[in-house]
Amino acid sequence: MEQTMESSDGSNFIINNSKNVSRVKKLLFRRMLIGVNDGRFFMGAFHCIDKQGNIILQDAVEFRTTRRSSPAPMEQRCLGLILIPSSCRSSCHVDCSIEEQMSLLSLGKSE
C-alpha cells in the first residue's frame, strides 16, 4: 500500500508501508550511535522512529567533549529513554556485522 507524504521542506515522497515497516523491524533493539549537530553522540538501543524521522533510543548514553581543544577527553552520562529530533541528527550508525550491514544497505535500494 503506497501513501504520499509531504516532507517539512514541501517536497512529496511515496511511502511503501510494508517495505518501511520491514526495514525498521530489522533495526529494533540494535545498538545505534547517533551524532547530532552540536557534536554530541548518543548510543542506545533503537526503540522506534516516527513519520517525521525522530528516533527514540532506550538505555541511551550521551558522549560529549569537555574542551574545544584537540584531542579532547570524552565525557559520558547515562540518560535512559531519549528522543532525538531528525532536524538535529547528523549521523546514524547501527552496530552489526559486515554481512548484516550489507543486508541493511541493500534494503535501501529501489526494487
Whether cis (ω within 30° of 0) applies to the bond prior to 71 is: yes
Tell me the three state secondary structure of residue 85: coil
pLDDT number for residue 24: 81
- Mean pLDDT score of the chain: 80
pLDDT in tens, 43-94: 999 999 988 989 999 999 999 987 776 677 889 999 999 999 999 999 999 8
At 30, list the grid cell: 540494535
Angle, helices 98-107/17-27, rounded to nearest 10 degrees: 160
Q: What is the domain partition of the chain in residue ranges?
A: 29-106
Q: Kindly indicate the confidence band of residue 15, based on its pLDDT and cuts at 50, 70 and 90.
A: low
| Other CB atoms within 10 Å distance of the CB of residue 42 | 20
| Residue bearing the bigger pLDDT, 22 or 8 | 22
Mapping DSSP onto H, E and C, the string for 52-65 reads CCCEEEEEEEEEEE
Burial class, 6, CB count within 10 angstroms (exposed 0-12 / middle 13-18 / buried 19+): exposed
| Residue bearing the bigger pLDDT, 5 or 99 | 99
What pTM was estimated for this model as a whole?
0.71
The DSSP bridge partners found for residue 21 are none
Report residue 16 CA to chain centroid gap: 19
Which of the following CATH numbers is that of domain 29-106: 3.40.190.10, 3.40.50.2000, 2.40.240.20, 2.30.30.100? 2.30.30.100
The DSSP bridge partners found for residue 65 are 74
pLDDT number for residue 38: 92
pLDDT number for residue 21: 79
Mean pLDDT value across residues 1-27: 61
Tell me the three state secondary structure of residue 70: coil
